[in-house]
Amino acid sequence: MFDIFSGLDFWVVVSLCLALGFVLAFEFINGFHDTANAVATVIYTKSMPPNTAVALSGLFNFLGVLLGGVGVAYAIVHLLPVELLIAVDTGHGLAMVFSLLAAAIVWNLGTWYFGIPASSSHTLIGSILGVGLTNAVITGIPLADGINWKKAVDIGLSLVVSPVTGFLLAGLMLWLLRRYLPLSKMHKTPELRREVDGKKHPPFWNRLALVLSAMGVSFVHGSNDGQKGIGLIMLVLIGIVPGKFVLDLDSTTYQIERTRDAVVHLSQFYQRNSASLGAYLALGRGNGSEMPARFKCEPTQTSPTILSLLSVLNGVKDYRDLAPETRAQVRRNLLCLDDTARKVGKLPQLDGREKADLEKLRKDLTATTEYAPLWVIVAVALALGIGTMVGWKRVVETVGEKIGRQGMTYAQGMCAQIVAASAIGMANLFSLPVSTTHVLSSGVAGTMVANGSGLRGSTIRNILLAWVLTLPATMGLSALLFWLATTLFV
């Protein structure tokens, strides 16, 4: 880990430490901001003592980050246009990271202070969108190209669909429990349980289900939200010390050969479909190996990019054998080929089978650029896990007592948590970032409606306002910060 500082100027080291500190601070705040939702029901229902619940939640968040992979991490990163990603070794790249993180941290702290269950995922995505659109204005590129809109739409749909799904499924589950087990003690609130039965804790099986589902929510929260911090740290490392992180220097010879083979197969794919793609990719025109003086990711530069990449990778067994500038060139070319392949995959002239082949080629193209060192994963896991252990009380009170007109029953907490863990786990399988906050709080709201207790208007209004305002607020704040940073310091 510490060899990343070798050979760096003092101010570069300072910038690197500050940037890494910002990312870890965001994950720390994410821990106590979002994880309160994961333990809210288990604490409110007296299933576990608060300190024990929060400590275990921190542990399961830690494990979730360690075992979650990097699919969600790069789903977030690729919201930014490829032109900005290949230029992260400039001052614009650093201004981008600091601006979006500062905006996300400010909003997260503000909503936590007022006890509003707002989403860190929502916050981070809004900040990224603000930076991407402002970069488009500053650099003069069309706004349509300022953001990876396909990825933004996919993520936006996941953020909208997941809480609606949580609301409906949790409500349906509770309705079924009330219909077929109407006399069960699981339908009591902690207060009613104490008054009628004289007991402090839920019935054994309810308590076990609440504890297990809470830890499940913590685990999937770590594997989903923790990856966002991993993606941000990789942007920082590539931006400040590109020679060491633009490619995975621990890639094996097989992995490098697999990447080179993917480039060869991509070329063959385009030649095979030249009748339909020839005009779009300018196949057969200017296909020399010379790259243009001013490089830009454009479909018409696909052939020279492929030839240039193959000439560099020919015979390479270890990325460390390449000069730092050459590694940066390899990453740039791989990202551009992947970006063009993504655009080609949306063209109507390709049939479904060919599009499926293209998706597989894209995964092989990015196998050695979409990665994270173990120390990065551990650092994010620690920040998220430790953050979980503080600041939980404000949001627990909101989720347990203020969403519905009555307190939460054991069955309601169990239904909301099981649905939240399942929904977020499914999102992880498809590398989609979702909001633990929104899924769980909407699940609680769904159970309140199914239970007939109704919703508390003021709390629901605050949650909806936070949901509606998070995107425009963080977009505006990050856009302002990015514009100031690029105007004053870049």
Task: Give the pLDDT of residue 31.
Answer: 77
The 10 Å Cβ neighbour count of residue 278 is: 14
The least confident of 93-97, 177-181, 273-277, 388-392 is: 388-392
Task: Give the pLDDT of residue 288.
Answer: 47
Which amino acid is located at 323 in the chain? A
CA pair distance 61, 47, nearest whole angstrom: 19
Tokens 């992180």 belong to residue:
245
Distances, alpha carbon 426 to alpha carbons 59, 157, 181, 360, 381, in Å: 21, 14, 28, 21, 21
238-275 exposure pattern, b = at least 16 Cβ within 10 A, e = fewer:
bbbbbbbbbbbbebeeebbeebbebbebbbebbeebee
Q: Read off the pLDDT of residues 437-479 as tens digits, 9 standing for 90 and up.
A: 778 888 888 888 888 776 666 666 766 776 778 888 899 999 9
Residue 268, token pair as written in the block: 């063959």
Count of all residues that appear for the chain in the document: 490
Q: Read off the pLDDT of residues 31-70 as tens digits, 9 standing for 90 and up.
A: 776 666 777 778 878 888 888 888 888 889 889 998 888 8
Task: Give the pLDDT of residue 143.
Answer: 76
The 10 Å Cβ neighbour count of residue 356 is: 12
- pLDDT above 70 (res 392): no
Q: Read off the pLDDT of residues 178-223 as tens digits, 9 standing for 90 and up.
A: 999 888 888 888 888 888 888 888 889 889 999 999 899 889 888 8
- pLDDT above 60 (res 400): no
Residues β-bridged to residue 455: 404
Q: Report percent pLDDT > 90 for the chain.
A: 22
The 10 Å Cβ neighbour count of residue 141 is: 15
Task: Give the pLDDT of residue 454.
Answer: 66
Nearest to 48 by CA among 209, 219, 192, 220: 209
- pLDDT above 60 (res 402): no
Q: Read off the pLDDT of residues 410-424 as tens digits, 9 standing for 90 and up.
A: 898 899 889 999 998
Q: Are 233 and 336 contacting, i.e. CB atoms less than 8 angstroms apart?
A: no
Residues β-bridged to residue 404: 455
- The C-alpha torsion from 105 through 108 and 112 to 116, rounded to 10°, is 170
Task: Give the pLDDT of residue 293.
Answer: 47
- pLDDT above 90 (res 431): no
- pLDDT above 80 (res 487): yes
Task: Give the pLDDT of residue 445.
Answer: 84
Q: Read off the pLDDT of residues 273-326 as tens digits, 9 standing for 90 and up.
A: 988 888 888 876 554 445 444 456 788 889 999 999 999 999 999 999 999 889
Q: Are 220 and 424 contacting, i.e. CB atoms less than 8 angstroms apart?
A: yes
CA pair distance 381, 17, nearest whole angstrom: 18
SS3 label, residue 166: helix
Q: Read off the pLDDT of residues 220-269 as tens digits, 9 standing for 90 and up.
A: 888 888 888 898 888 888 877 888 888 999 999 999 999 999 999 999 99
Tokens 């425009």 belong to residue:
472
- DSSP letter at 409 equals P
Q: Read off the pLDDT of residues 137-165 as tens digits, 9 standing for 90 and up.
A: 887 777 777 777 777 787 778 778 888 89
Task: Give the pLDDT of residue 456.
Answer: 67
Task: Give the pLDDT of residue 312.
Answer: 94
Q: Are 61 and 386 contacting, i.e. CB atoms less than 8 angstroms apart?
A: no
Nearest to 53 by CA among 201, 186, 166, 212: 212
Nearest to 168 by CA among 422, 428, 430, 485: 422
Task: Give the pLDDT of residue 376.
Answer: 93
Alpha carbons within 13 angstroms on the beta-carbon side of residue 371 total 19
